[in-house]
Amino acid sequence: MPTMQDVARHAGVALSTVSYAINGTRPISEETRRRIFAAMDELGYRPNALARGLASKRSRIIALLFPAVKRGMGLTELEFVVSAADAARENGYHLVLWSTEIRDAEELQQLMRQGLVDGVVVMEIHDQDERIDLLRTTDFPFTMIGRCADNAGLNFIDIDFGQTMAIVIAHLVGLGHTHIGFLNHAVDEFEAGYGPAVRAQNRFLETVAANGLHGTMRYCEASPQAGYSAVNELRAADPDLTAVIAMNDRAVPGILRAIADQGLSIPDDFSVVAIVSSARFAEMMTPTITTAEAPAYELGRLGTEMLIRQLEGGNNDISGKLIPCKLVIRESSGESPARRSELSTA
Amino acid sequence: MPTMQDVARHAGVALSTVSYAINGTRPISEETRRRIFAAMDELGYRPNALARGLASKRSRIIALLFPAVKRGMGLTELEFVVSAADAARENGYHLVLWSTEIRDAEELQQLMRQGLVDGVVVMEIHDQDERIDLLRTTDFPFTMIGRCADNAGLNFIDIDFGQTMAIVIAHLVGLGHTHIGFLNHAVDEFEAGYGPAVRAQNRFLETVAANGLHGTMRYCEASPQAGYSAVNELRAADPDLTAVIAMNDRAVPGILRAIADQGLSIPDDFSVVAIVSSARFAEMMTPTITTAEAPAYELGRLGTEMLIRQLEGGNNDISGKLIPCKLVIRESSGESPARRSELSTA
DNA sequence: GCGTGTAGTCGAAGCGCTTCAACAATATAG
DNA sequence: CTATATTGTTGAAGCGCTTCGACTACACGC
């Protein structure tokens, strides 16, 4: 491996001149720059990342903090990872994965102290999150995909649950549905203050009330079996229910089965909309599912870019950005039975 | 951030002694070691990863090379990533993601020259893979999840397609099926020499022949639509077909729909088995799918551990390890129609 | 003419660690 | 009792880079 010293000798200049040429830290004459770059690719030189990081105190490495989630990771999480890695690469950064066991702040602190990374992107945020508290008090650069209860002075990007819920409910209301159910994540996720579980529920209750609709909700574990019983419970609680919004992909197959087992058909008798979901998932179901798709790619990418901008200094305007899910209408949502019979009588 | 020098002063020893104590590189008296460790956690000291890497020429960082695949990433790929990250962590390594655009060797070489990582784990290997050729000729440490055509002297871990196919076909034969179809990945994957596409196909043809069965195969893009037409083509090519093995999760919903559209029922009239699949996926389908599940967690973990062992020197025995998928029988496979009518006549 | 910038370059001092050579002190062998 | 290890410790020399201070050469305004 050639070093910067080799390049300098080859180009007949001082080592520091090479450094300035590479980083643009100081003005270099056109002629000198040319010689240096020629020497560089003649030798196949690439600056050593470790040495550069040590000397400059900026490793150009960031970490993606993605804790093990009971719920299990899905396609959305995968997209976070991929898009974060892409965004990092495009900006000349490396992305390391700090995974699973780093749930407690203690372990995170050990990693921070190693001085390997310049900042972290945190996923799967809870309302009260000790990782965020730690990062905050130690002034370690970070951004969040999600947010906690108090986000004053923090950079984050999150799903706009209010907007998402408004769009989805508007869609259903437009189809004549007035009795709508909501299937949330598991109750312990909610109680642990898991952001989406808390916010989606609140927005559901608000929106339903604001529109004078009948709303019913249930928590639901991430499994078809749980979805099966949860939707039956919903229908028992409100016999006039004609539509359900599910923020729980893994429960959806159970919902479909339960409806079919009642001899009802989707979407004629009952509509199903999955929120914070993905096209990949929606198209695997029969019927294909109308979804509000999580902007996973944007979230991962923007969260990362936000962090990098923060690290590159200057642009220090703190911001919280919300992106709504995008509604894609497929086969699982249709006009309410009441509306349909009105039309056929008319 | 305290440095090693601070620890040394605090413990009243030389800087080098602290280093020896931490790394166990030289014998240190019990008393001295105690003082050093006390000083360390009094100061909250953690060795600086960059400095350590620069001085020792071993960064304790490895990369997971996961290129963008046309087919799109699924749960299996996600598990590789997660399990690789876990395995790295447990062994005191960091895992960086080198993703998407690094398909050509050129870009990989740039990354290697940066000296950031000690070695790489390569995923999504093709029979002729220029990334592997590059790593090989430059003597850069690496292991493969998958393998290429010539693996002499290489460390790899892969799915045992022969064994997997044998298990799956034995299952179907045991149920009385004699006309079996195979749905592969897309034809361009096969032609590009994508390992699983090539090997699963060969093992299918061999096993079918060895058992005197009628085997038919088709390539299939990764979509329900493609699955729909592919299974119809298979049935047209062999009207006696009663079972299909699919190595293409995203096509499976299409298969189910096509069979249902013919007025046939699964598993009474037709059996479906998905291979190199996952429980998560299988349980989302109705009926739930009998699968040969990819040992994704083991592959990611072992691929990583293999690399680390190789880096830690000593244990340099080159090995290629194969793990078969695990058959999990669910609702989509059952006795062949012929066998069923035999039984009812008897 | 003089001060005052600015472009362009250089040498040297570190960044925080590992590791080498050296040495004292004690143990072991013959 | 000397020769030879072994244990335990030290200081200093780097690893490959960034960055500071200094210096030269030339432009500018007045």
With a 7 Å cutoff on the CB, does A154 touch strand C? Answer: no
Name the H helices within B238-290.
252-261, 279-282
pLDDT at B272: 98
The dihedrals phi and psi of B34, each to the nearest 5 degrees, come to: -60, -50
Judgement on whether residues A196 and A341 belong to the same structural domain of the protein: yes
Residue A286 to residue A288: CA distance in whole angstroms: 5
Contact A91, A84 (CB under 8 A): no
Angle (CA) B139 B50 A43, round 5°: 45
pLDDT value of position B114 = 96
Cα A33 to Cα A6, A20, A343, B75, B110, distances in angstroms: 15, 9, 77, 48, 21
pLDDT score at A345 = 67
- How confident is the model at residue A315, as a pLDDT? 62
Low-confidence ranges of chain B (pLDDT < 70): 69-71, 100-103, 314-316, 343, 345-346
| Domain co-membership, B93 together with B155 | yes
Domain range for A42 is: 4-47
pLDDT given for residue B220 in this prediction? 97
Q: What's the pLDDT score for residue A73?
A: 78
Of the candidates B84, B99, B78, the residue with the CA atom closest to the CA atom of residue A83? B99
| Shared domain check, B334 and B217 | yes
d(CA A91, CA B301): 29
DSSP A95: E
Mark whether B137 and B207 lie in a shared domain: no
Residue B28 lies in a domain: yes
Taking the C-alpha atoms of residue B232 and residue A178, their distance in angstroms, rounded to an integer, is: 42
d(CA A148, CA B205): 55
pLDDT digits (tens, 9 = 90+) for A186-214: 999 999 999 999 999 999 999 999 999 99
Q: Which residues in chain B touch residue A89, judged by CB atoms under 8 angstroms apart?
A: 98-101
Q: For position A176, what pLDDT does the model report? A: 96
pLDDT at A32: 94
Q: In this complex, is the C-beta atom of A196 within 8 Å of any C-beta atom belonging to chain B?
A: no
Classified as helix, coil or strand, B228 is helix
By C1' distance from the Cα of B23, the closest nucleotide is C18
Residues A12 and A115 grouped into a single domain? no
The partner residues of B179 in beta bridges, in order of sequence, read B214
Q: Any idea what DSSP says for residue B5?
A: H
Inter-chain CB proximity A48 and B59 less than 8 Å: no
Question: For residue B130, what are the contacts with CB-CB under 8 A and spacing of at least 6?
Answer: B104, B105
Give B 230-269 residues with CB within 8 A of chain A.
250, 252-253, 256-257
Domain assignment present for residue B54? The answer is no
The answer to whether residue A56 is domain-embedded is no
pLDDT of res. B102: 58
B174 CA to D4 C1' distance (Å): 75
Q: What share of chain A has pLDDT > 70, as a percent?
A: 96
Distance CA B343, CA B110 (A): 65
> Going edge to edge, which strands form the sheet with A61-67?
A320-323, A156-159, A142-145, A119-122, A61-67, A94-100, B94-100, B61-67, B119-122, B142-145, B156-159, B320-323
- Structural domains of chain A, count: 3
Residue A34: count other Cβ atoms within 10 Å of its Cβ.
Answer: 13
Helix axes of A49-56 and B49-56: crossing angle, nearest 10 degrees: 130
Average pLDDT over residues A84-95: 94
Nearest nucleotide to A2 by CA–C1' distance? D16
**Pair (A141, A181) in one structural domain:** no
B218 Cβ under 8 Å from any chain A Cβ: no
Task: State whether residue B61 sits within 8 Å of chain A by CB.
Answer: yes
- Please tell me whether residues B137 and B109 are part of one structural domain: yes
* pLDDT computed for residue A103 by the predictor: 61
Specify if B70 maps to a domain: yes
Asked if pLDDT for residue A10 goes beyond 80, the answer is: yes
| Mean pLDDT within A81-96 | 94
Co-location of A155 and A166 in the same domain: no
**To the nearest whole angstrom, how far is the Cα of B184 from the nearest Cα of chain A?**
18
pLDDT greater than 80 at residue A30: yes
Is the pLDDT at A72 greater than 80? The verdict is no
pLDDT of residue A99: 82
Answer yes or no: do B189 and B235 share one domain: yes
Mutate to test the interface with B, among A81, A225, A259, A304 (most CBs of B within 10 A): A81
Q: Identify which of B86, B100, B250 has the shortest CB distance to residue A99.
A: B86
Co-location of A174 and A129 in the same domain: no
- Could you report how far apart the first and last alpha carbons of chain A are, in Å? 82
Q: How far is the CA of A27 from the C1' of C6 (A)?
A: 10
Shortest distance between the Cα of A53 and any Cα of chain B, in A, equals 7
User: Is A6 buried (19+), middle (13-18) or exposed (0-12) by CB count in 10 A?
Assistant: middle
The answer to the question of residue B56 being in a domain is no
A221 and A236 assigned to the same domain:
yes
> Do residues B257 and B336 share a domain?
yes
For residue A172, the distance in angstroms to the closest alpha carbon of chain B comes to 25
